[in-house]
A and B are shown apart, each in its own frame.
Chain A
């Protein structure tokens, strides 16, 4: 009876060919089915359990910036297979698949916009593209975003979501850790704030470079954040890892991040913080 009503109510809203998963999302934590419209209006946080779902780069921009204010910066930098890397498949095939899946050249989206009327430069990593891994393109786009912010006198926000440096570009990926640091130093010399927002997951070479040299480090609730992955650590120490190890709240306890901020509170939190650091008076 209840099931019958469920279907009858939903069916008229369906577009021809649309199927159930496009209307509902199951929370990976509490397994509750959430109506996508509710998820959208709740910044992709589960209304039942508060779990912060992983976001694509475009969704992240929508959640953070004022509606319609976003202007993409570059997006023209494309990856190349400098090493002719082959493992179980060619790197070029992996890239093509990730590009088709996400509709972007690589695991990064950068642009400018406003956050409660405050002009900002934003870089967002896309975990859906090859696990948000950092290769030459991610390094270059992050660097350009930092330099753009320095040139235009805006604060920089970087939202991280990454398994670390990209294996398929080997030492070239590794060097992006230093390269992004160079560009962020340009921003620092201009006296402009850089805030990183660490989302689930942020590990490896991203944690060991631009993510953690921000002026202020914000983490999302429950996000896994660390240098070595939990599996590698487990193999090294051969002990059970404690509950909550490498989670945002654990890092706050250990003095590694400035705040754990609920995604629904991030806009006012960041606007206030950046306003204070830049002595900006909101014109609203």
Chain B
């Protein structure tokens, strides 16, 4: 159905090698590269566009880079700061200052875990109220020291637990949204896997919101929607179609500014290439925003979100 992704990847690698050689040696290799490029194009078209559900699968693919995988490749000096100073520390939403490709920033990271043990410890990236309260604390620091905020969004949603409710999950998310809207420093958010509901939006209120090609962002997970609509979570593929939750959908709806390309077959097949694209896109938006005044940044972000919605008026 999807053609042969391996053949396509191999071909792309050859094109990249030839391009690198041409670049290095100054030779003109267009005669060799052009037919290969056409073949790549042909194979891409033959495989057809991915269905929305296929993209959801890619967003959850084993080995897909997590937030820390991007930080490892793109940042130096990351200093994780722990705790919300009230109750505890949440390993599902972490952060601290770092240099993003050289630029000092404050990182907010929804971290899913890399193996079974850390996935469980980090509750698969589903934060408790402590996570959002720590995020607010880190935003306060960012504001105080004039650090732009970079948030990497990757969660199926806030953790739906008994204790999370006791400690005010809704309150913590609402406060995080409010704080992020009030920041007078640049905020760039990138959805790097799953953008599930309010738990994602809590750290998704950016001047610019970017999304990777195979990430999704929606008011509810496909499984959640399927259990409400059909009382059957296995109907998630249908729900994914209805929810229009893919990166191209969100670009159409004006929810995101840019779709960050992924390596053919998904970010997990070439994390280096995926990281380079994320690094470049976030870095470029940061540079643009850093030219704006604190007032412009706050007002611009507020205006961006005030304008979102679809309705008519009689």
Contacts and interface: CB of A to CB of B under 8 A. Distances in A.
Interface of A: 76-80, 82-83, 85-88, 136-137, 139-140, 143, 165-167, 169-179, 181-183, 185, 204-205, 207-213, 226-228, 232-233, 236-237, 239, 241-242, 245-246, 254-256
22 contacts: A77-B313, A80-B311, A83-B242, A87-B230, A87-B239, A88-B229, A88-B230, A140-B311, A167-B243, A170-B245, A173-B219, A177-B198, A178-B181, A204-B198, A207-B174, A208-B170, A213-B175, A226-B170, A237-B162, A242-B162, A245-B162, A254-B168
B201 A178 contact: yes
Given A167-B228, A205-B197, A256-B171, A246 B165 contact: yes
Interface of B: 158-162, 164-171, 173-175, 177-178, 181-182, 197-198, 201-202, 205, 217-220, 224-225, 228-230, 238-239, 242-245, 249-250, 253, 255, 302, 305-306, 308-314
Given A83-B244, A175-B201, A209-B177, 7 more contacts: A77-B313, A78-B314, A80-B310, A171-B244, A177-B174, A179-B306, A204-B198
A241 B177 contact: no
B309 A179 contact: yes
B224 to A, nearest CB: 8
A277 to B, nearest CB: 19
A77 B311 contact: yes
A232 B196 CA distance: 15
A83 to B, nearest CB: 5
Nearest to A204: B198
A169 B219 contact: yes
A218 to B, nearest CB: 15
Given A165-B219, A170-B218, A205-B197, A233 B162 contact: yes
Contacts of A83: 242-244, 253
Given A83-B242, A170-B245, A181 B181 contact: yes
A93 to B, nearest CB: 14
Interface-centre pick from B160, B177, B220, B302 (highest chain A CB count, 10 A): B160
Given A185-B302, A205-B219, A177 B201 contact: yes
Interface of B is mostly: helix
B221 to A, nearest CB: 11
Contacts of B239: 87
A136 B311 contact: yes
A87 B238 CA distance: 8
B159 to A, nearest CB: 8
B311 A208 contact: no
Contacts of A140: 309, 311
B171 A179 contact: no
Contacts of A239: 162
Contact of A205 (B159, B175, B182, B198): B198
B151 to A, nearest CB: 13
A179 B202 CA distance: 13
A184 to B, nearest CB: 8
B181 A185 contact: yes
Nearest to B224: A232
A256 to B, nearest CB: 5
Given A171-B255, A227-B158, A228-B165, A78 B312 contact: yes
Given A204-B198, A245-B162, A171 B218 contact: yes
A60 B198 CA distance: 28
A245 B162 CA distance: 9
Contacts of B166: 254
A172 B308 contact: yes
Contact of B165 (A77, A86, A227): A227
B311 A78 contact: yes
B306 A143 contact: yes
A171 B309 contact: no
B253 A82 contact: yes
A96 to B, nearest CB: 14
A249 to B, nearest CB: 13
